Amino acid sequence: MSQRPAPVVDGETARRRGYGWLLLVPGMLWLVVFFLIPTVQLFFTSLYDPSGSYELGYAMTWHFQNYPDAVRDNFDLFVRSFLYAGITTFVCLLLAYPLAYAIAFKSGRWKNFLLVLVIAPFFTSFLLRTLSWSAILSDQGVVTSLLKSVAILPEDGRLLATPVAVIAGLIYNFLPFMTLPLYASLDKVDPRLIEAAGDLYSSPFTGFRKVTVPLSMPGVVSGTLLTFIPACGDYINAELLGTTRQYMIGNRIQAAFLRERDYPVAATLSLLLMLVVVAMVVVYVRRAGTEKLV
Amino acid sequence: MPDPRERRHLSRRGFVQGASLSAFALGGSGLLSACGTSGAKVDQDECRSTDKSDSEQQLAFSNWPLYIDPIKAKNTSTLEAFEQETGITVDYTADVNDNDGFYAKVAPQLSECKSTGRDAFALTDWMAARMIDLGWIQELDHDNMPNVDANLLDWFKTPAWDPDRKYSVPWQAGMTGICYNSKLVDPVESFEDLLTRPDLKGKVTVLSEMRDTMIFMLLLQGADPEDFTSQEYSAAIGELKSAVDSGQIRRFTGNDYIDDLKSGNVVACESWSGDVSQLGGDNFKWVKPSEGFAVWADNMMVPNLATHKANVEKLIDFYYQPKVAAQLAAWNYYVCPVRDAADHMAEFDKSAVDNPLIFPDEQELDAGIDFMPLDSGQDKEYQQQFNEVQSG
């Protein structure tokens, strides 16, 4: 094969001609087909007349009343979902920060090995991992009996089918999503900056607080988003580790779509969840000041 | 006047404009949903298919888990015997976990006259009734199934929703009652025990199918599940809700209550009659609650656009031979709808010969309770109330 010299296009020319924007086309097309169109459909579905049924058909009556109705009927579920997701995110941050810190700064040649360990759970299915937790936490299981024998749990207490089990399942399942972004930003922190802080007579703690933490903020923000957003919509953990009293908004949406085939309610709830999460994220990202995130 | 050369260049603004225009146009196709949905009922004449059974020796059958003797057991399985006798290959899938879930799986196709890829499936009475009503099920040819006419127990011959068994034939039948672990608790004899006894608190599950559970809640209210008012239903829902809120009921389950019973997480639960045998061990007891019990059947049906109906009819006919039926019942321990199967039971399982859970007499079946047929509006309303309790 003969080598032809590639046509020389410097950055300036490319920018002026604007071919760069063409690179966006596949991504945009993907978003339109798999996000925009379904969302538009979901929006219309949420305005169907709720008196219809799957068998008889749903009439389009622009029934905006579906929204206040859905909020009124499911307020507790929304609160519970955000509470569980919030606790999950917070505990994940507490657990993942030292872990990511240790991997980034203290692991030496074990670094890659430890990173593989963090993602190792992904080699088995999400469902299987959650089901194994239901075996570990079962009423006759080792963990429950141990906690009972040291009187942390009362004699008739249980772990499975409680909020503790559901939140523990969420934390376990989402921990890697917190750890990896944290690691990525901690790994980029220049150790010389921390040394410099020491040279300027800051205590190790002050150095950590004033140098390491601010520099790792992009990781904290993306980690919390990657944990909080999917945790809000999760229903597998509540389904397998909880009871009806731990159900989250995802369980309700799933039941409305598949069991009741109440499409207006299911669509309304899906959109509401999306809107509330986006609103919370916007506020959070503004507050956290992530102009340097990119 | 703009420089004509510029037009050939794609500017950022031009791209954004073009992209948003095309996005809008494409997004507009989502507008189709702005017209609402048409109903799910179909005109059967428009959904016919030609039967290819003569040329294609095969059929695909979807059934519930643990509902047939192991199909891989060489030379001993009923399905294998059928395949050898007829030369028809059966693609058997245990993908019916609950009626609603399966309905959700096939409804998109059947409501639009498309093939589900299945030639037969077995669903519970009320769901069978709904599908027949929607025009989704093909009529069966009884001339191809002489064993059914000869051996189907009278009790199952004339359900209100398919009085001549034109569309459906029972695969197996069963009863809904209570199962408890006698090693861990004293006998649980009534549904009231299940919902009120303090020693069972948090260790009780009920079934997630509305009809299964609400039959008993209605009975507890003193209402008749075969003829009740919506006030009675609401009261029954109220009682279920308080049992859930007090923590007496641990959760709602499908067939997976078996796992909780086995692991000891649950000591007593609402349960289907055949599953006790799958649990093994003498400590699991199945009882008919003192309030009453439910009888149901899972019915084989051929959906629209299935192309191997004659093959399915052969399969149904095969399983209506008393000896085959006995072998099947000896394995799954459900109520056998085939007459004289008991005569052959001794060949497979001596202990099951006069097991009343497999061969109840017809008077006993008469005592079983059914759920009132619901129209689509009631069904949705009642299901919604039940789901509100289920999802807390």
Helix (H, G, I), strand (E, B) or coil at B18: helix
Of residues B42 and A9, more confidence is placed in B42
pLDDT for the residue numbered B1:
45
Band of residue B5 on the pLDDT scale cut at 50, 70, 90:
very low
Residue A38 lies in a domain: no
- pTM to 2 decimals? 0.82
Among A37-46, A148-157, A240-249, name the one with the lowest average pLDDT.
A148-157
Q: Which residues of B touch A59 (CB under 8 A)?
A: 36
A246/B33 Cβ within 8 A: no
Both structure tokens of B64: 């519930």
Give chain A's mean pLDDT. 89
Q: Is the ipTM of this complex over 0.90?
A: no
Phi, psi dihedrals of residue A121, rounded to the nearest 5° = -55, -25
A42 within some domain: no
User: pLDDT class for A81, splitting at 50, 70, 90?
Assistant: very high
- Kindly tell me the burial class for residue B178, based on how many C-beta atoms sit within 10 Å of its own C-beta (0-12, 13-18, 19 or more): buried
> Does pLDDT of B41 surpass 80?
yes
Q: Output A2 or A84, whichever has higher pLDDT.
A: A84
Cα–Cα distance for residue pair A207/A117, rounded to 1 Å: 29
Secondary structure string (H, E, C) spanning B25-78: HHHHHHHHHHHCCCCCCCCHHHHCCCCCCCCCCEEEEECCCCCCCCCCCCCCCH
pLDDT at B7: 47
Strands (E), chain B: 58-62, 89-93, 120-124, 169-181, 204-207, 249-253, 268-272, 284-287, 294-301
Domain count, chain A: 1
List pLDDT tens digits, range B278-317.
777 788 999 999 999 999 999 999 999 999 999 999 999 9
Question: Residue A231: is it exposed, middle or buried by C-beta count within 10 angstroms (0-12/13-18/19+)?
Answer: buried
Q: Residue B253: which of A242, A53, A193 has the closest Cα?
A: A242
Judge whether residue B26 has pLDDT over 70: no
Cβ-nearest to A244 among B107, B202, B390: B390
Looking at the complex, report in whole angstroms how far the Cα of residue A294 sits from the nearest Cα belonging to chain B. Answer: 21
Give the structural domain span for A227.
Answer: 76-288
Please indicate whether, in this complex, the C-beta atoms of A48 and B36 are within 8 angstroms of each other.
yes
The pLDDT of residue A1 is 44
Each residue's pLDDT tens digit, B161-220: 999 999 999 999 999 999 999 999 999 999 999 999 999 999 999 998 899 999 999 999
**Packing angle between helix B322-332 and helix B309-319, nearest 10 degrees?**
80
DSSP label of B338: B
Q: What is the pLDDT of residue B6?
A: 46
Q: What is the pLDDT of residues A124-173, one digit of tens each?
A: 999 999 999 998 998 888 888 889 888 888 877 888 989 999 999 999 99
Would you call A38 an interface residue with chain B, using a CB distance cutoff of 8 Å? Answer: yes
Q: Which of B179, B220, B219 is nearest to B203 (CA)?
A: B179
Residue A7 lies in a domain: no
| Helix and strand element counts for chain B (H, E) | 16, 9
Given an 8 Å threshold on Cβ–Cβ distance, is A244 in contact with B387? no
Q: Which residues of A touch B386 (CB under 8 A)?
A: none
How far apart CA B294 and CA B212 sit, in angstroms, is 8
Q: Which two tokens stand for residue A149?
A: 């024998």
Nearest to B392 among A32, A40, A244 (CB): A244
Q: Is B10 a residue whose pLDDT tops 70?
A: no
Question: A47 near A64, Cβ under 8 Å?
Answer: yes
- Residue range A90-108: mean pLDDT, rounded: 95
**CB burial of residue A285 (10 Å; 0-12, 13-18, 19+):** middle
pLDDT at A212: 92
Q: Using 50, 70 and 90 to split pLDDT, how confident is the model at A233? A: very high
- The per-residue pLDDT for A6 is 54
Residue B177: strand pairing partners:
B271
Per-window interface: B 198-217 vs A, CB < 8 A? 201-203
| pLDDT surpassing 80 at residue B152 | yes
Q: Give percent above pLDDT 70 in chain B.
A: 92
Whether A167 is covered by a domain: the verdict is yes
What integer pLDDT is reported at residue A165 of this predicted model?
Answer: 95
The share of chain B scoring above pLDDT 90, in percent, equals 60
Residue A49 lies inside a defined structural domain of this protein: no
CATH code for the domain in which residue A276 is found? 1.10.3720.10
Rounded to a whole number of angstroms, the CA Rg of chain A reads 24
Give the best residue of B98, B380, B386 to mutate against chain A (max A CB count within 10 A).
Answer: B380
Closest CA to A235 of A138, A132, A160, A126: A126
Which domains are seen in chain B, by residue range? 44-173+297-358 (3.40.190.10), 174-295+373-390 (3.40.190.10)
Q: Are strands B120-124 and B294-301 parallel, antiparallel or unpaired?
A: antiparallel
**Residue A3: what pLDDT?**
53
Q: Where does residue B39 fall: left (phi above 0), alpha (psi -120 to 50 degrees), or beta otherwise?
A: beta
Per-residue pLDDT of B50-106, as tens digits, reads 899 999 999 999 999 888 988 877 778 999 999 999 999 999 999 888 898 899 899
* Confidence label for A178 from pLDDT (cuts 50, 70 and 90): very high
pLDDT in tens, B103-149: 989 998 999 899 999 999 999 999 999 999 999 999 999 999 999 99
- Tell me if A9 is assigned to some domain: no
- Decide if B389 and A58 are in contact by the 8 Å CB cutoff: no
Does residue A284 lie in a domain region?
yes
Residue A117 lies in a domain: yes
pLDDT for the residue numbered A10: 57
**Residue A125: helix, strand or coil by DSSP?**
coil
Which residues on A lie below 8 Å from B112 (Cβ)? Answer: none
